[in-house]
A = this chain, B = another copy of it.
Amino acid sequence: MTKTSWQKLGEYLHETQLLGSIYNTLYWDQNTSMPSGAATWRGEQISLLAKSLHARQCSAEFVDLIQGARQELETEIVPPTNLNNEKLKNLELLELESNRQKRLDSKLVVQLAKAQTDGYALWQRAKATNSFKQFAPALKRLIHLRQEQAKQLNESRSIWETLAQPYEPDLTIQRLNELFQPLRDRLPEMIFQARDSMSRQPFTWDFKETSQKKLCNLLLSEWGRDEKITCLARSPHPFSITLGPQDFRLTTRIVAGQPFSCFLATAHEWGHSLYEQGLPLQNHHWFAWPLGQATSMGVHESQSLFWENRVARSQAFSDRFWKNFVKEGAPFRSGLDCWRAMNPLSPGLNRVEADELSYGLHILIRTDLEIALLQEDLDVLDLPSEWNARYEKLLGVMPMNDSEGCLQDVHWSEGSFGYFPSYLLGHLISAQLSESMSSWLASQGVQSEDPIGECIKEGKELKLLSWLRSKVHHYGRKVNAEQLVQEVTGQALTSHPFLNYLETKLNILTSTF
């Protein structure tokens, strides 16, 4: 029997997925097991695979297969079934990506790859020596090349918007401003309120390494971890990665002096992993197709933030779980002690370590600045002073040097512009989805002002997961982030649920002091 074009395209995608997952395995190993001296050789292995992946994604064969599948689908008498609509959506996404690739000059691709490597190396040195000037020429070059890239892509979008598409499909600056303006208005006062009424952490203690490990494993086993398809390891920076349809890996790290860092990173990465586990992957007709993939970084982040902030940092979770912490040495006398320890609200200079209240402001500053750099003629050399002025104004803190300031994040050094807003969109999406989840739980008979908290208190987090599975995860790329929120909640995305959530939490938390 001869294969249909559709089948051939599927086989092509399957092999690309195999190669991609081998690439991911090298990345996983590099961050969890590889000795440092092996870096050069690993770099060569990774380049080889990247080259071959890139070649597959740009090949004439691939373009032909997509066209063949399109023709086949259009000449068939196609009833508009669900399956056929999904087929069309898959093709549309493949064509979109293929057209993007085609429009790019291969010379530019090579120049960008080199500028990214150089940028990363220079950024590392500049950060170590507190010298933004060392990094400035590389950043200028990256901005220039990315502007050029946007020009070649020639979309009916601004430069920044064009570059943000791979992370957040269909996002516009106008929409972002609508979504973020209420945060810009409201967050600084809330931070002020928190600072005014919350004291610093009363406890200083730390967990032993074996305790950290035990607590993380306990958490994951309560949250339904299947050891047959998951693996938890340690790495310098926590991450979550999928290596196959039944192979989900996550990492955490231990930070001395920050007893909850490891535990909360595990909760966060587990949220990412659960989303991937819930995608239409294994034994599904869309595995290795676009519809089997995560729809946006914002949605991804909404899932990790849900499990980290909405669940693990909730009062209900502390009330249930605090004795486990005490067994491993935490000096809590009550769930409340634990809850306060897990929720320090104090604005700082560092995005990664920021609390839920101030996190958004870190993102607003970065988003404004990268839009200014890419399409509003902000001079690279003015970046440090602009950065510092905004921190002082919005957060009331001022970096002592550029390493604490505009050099703190890796993103720009690799030429990634347009990524930062996804972090904050994740907070918004998580909050709005949580409201729908609460209504659903209430309709299922969970009697409480806070039905999510009620489930957590009873150790029934799997009920929350099953809602996410059936309502959120399964879409893959069938809808974009905003469409997903509209589908699930029946409302357009706004920042109100997030602000309401923060206000409620802040009020209860500050009233306990």
Q: Which of A20-60 contact B (CB under 8 A)?
A: 21-22, 25-26, 28-29, 32-38, 40-42, 44-45, 48-49
* Contact B22 A247, beta carbon cutoff 8 Å: no
The tally of residues in A whose CB lies under 8 Å from a CB in B reads 37
Q: Is A68 an interface residue (CB 8 A)?
A: no
Bound-complex Cα distance A44 to B25 (A): 14
Among residues of B, the one whose C-beta sits closest to the C-beta of A49 is B22
Q: Is A19 an interface residue (CB 8 A)?
A: yes
* Contact A33 B35, beta carbon cutoff 8 Å: no
Q: Which of A212-263 contact B (CB under 8 A)?
A: 226-231, 233, 243-249
Interface centre among A19, A28, A33 (most CB of B within 10 A): A33
Q: Is A15 an interface residue (CB 8 A)?
A: yes
* Contact B33 A33, beta carbon cutoff 8 Å: yes
Bound-complex Cα distance A233 to B29 (A): 12
Q: Is A397 an interface residue (CB 8 A)?
A: no
| A15 / chain B contacts, CB cutoff of 8 Å | 48
* Contact B245 A35, beta carbon cutoff 8 Å: no
Of the candidates B29, B244, B246, which one forms a contact with A25 in the assembled complex, judged by CB atoms under 8 Å apart?
B29
* Contact A245 B41, beta carbon cutoff 8 Å: yes
Q: Is A18 an interface residue (CB 8 A)?
A: yes
Bound-complex Cα distance A248 to B41 (A): 12
* Contact B48 A247, beta carbon cutoff 8 Å: no
* Contact A37 B249, beta carbon cutoff 8 Å: no
| A19 / chain B contacts, CB cutoff of 8 Å | 48
Among residues of B, the one whose C-beta sits closest to the C-beta of A228 is B37
| A37 / chain B contacts, CB cutoff of 8 Å | 226, 228-229, 246-247
Query: For chain A, what secondary structure do more than half of its interface residues adopt (helix, strand, loop), or is it mixed?
Result: helix
Interface centre among A49, A226, A243, A249 (most CB of B within 10 A): A243
Among residues of B, the one whose C-beta sits closest to the C-beta of A248 is B35
Of the candidates B32, B33, B233, B243, which one forms a contact with A38 in the assembled complex, judged by CB atoms under 8 Å apart?
B243
CB distance from A127 to the nearest CB of B (A): 23
Q: Mark A122-146, 1 if CB is under 8 A from B, else 0.
A: 0000000000000000000000000
* Contact A249 B33, beta carbon cutoff 8 Å: yes
Of the candidates B28, B41, B244, which one forms a contact with A42 in the assembled complex, judged by CB atoms under 8 Å apart?
B244
CB distance from A222 to the nearest CB of B (A): 19
| A21 / chain B contacts, CB cutoff of 8 Å | 41, 45
* Contact A228 B22, beta carbon cutoff 8 Å: no
| A22 / chain B contacts, CB cutoff of 8 Å | 22, 26, 45, 48-49
Bound-complex Cα distance A243 to B39 (A): 11
* Contact A28 B29, beta carbon cutoff 8 Å: yes
A18-B231 CB under 8 A given contacts A29-B28, A33-B249: no
A33-B246 CB under 8 A given contacts A19-B48, A21-B45: no
| A36 / chain B contacts, CB cutoff of 8 Å | 228
A33-B233 CB under 8 A given contacts A18-B48, A25-B26: yes
* Contact B26 A231, beta carbon cutoff 8 Å: no
CB distance from A349 to the nearest CB of B (A): 33
Q: Mark A1-24, 1 if CB is under 8 A from B, else 0.
A: 000000000000001001101100
CB distance from A66 to the nearest CB of B (A): 22
CB distance from A34 to the nearest CB of B (A): 7
Bound-complex Cα distance A48 to B12 (A): 13
Bound-complex Cα distance A228 to B39 (A): 10
| A25 / chain B contacts, CB cutoff of 8 Å | 25-26, 29, 45
Interface centre among A18, A36, A42, A247 (most CB of B within 10 A): A247
Q: Mark A147-165, 1 if CB is under 8 A from B, else 0.
A: 0000000000000000000
CB distance from A235 to the nearest CB of B (A): 12
| A45 / chain B contacts, CB cutoff of 8 Å | 18, 21-22, 25, 244
| A226 / chain B contacts, CB cutoff of 8 Å | 37
A40-B249 CB under 8 A given contacts A25-B26, A26-B22, A33-B231: no
8 pairs from A and B in contact (CB 8 Å cutoff): A19-B48, A21-B45, A22-B48, A22-B49, A28-B33, A33-B249, A35-B228, A41-B243
A residues lining the B interface (CB < 8 Å):
15, 18-19, 21-22, 25-26, 28-29, 32-38, 40-42, 44-45, 48-49, 226-231, 233, 243-249
Additional A-B contact list (8), CB under 8 Å, known A37-B226, A38-B229, A38-B247: A15-B48, A18-B44, A18-B48, A21-B41, A25-B45, A33-B33, A33-B249, A35-B228
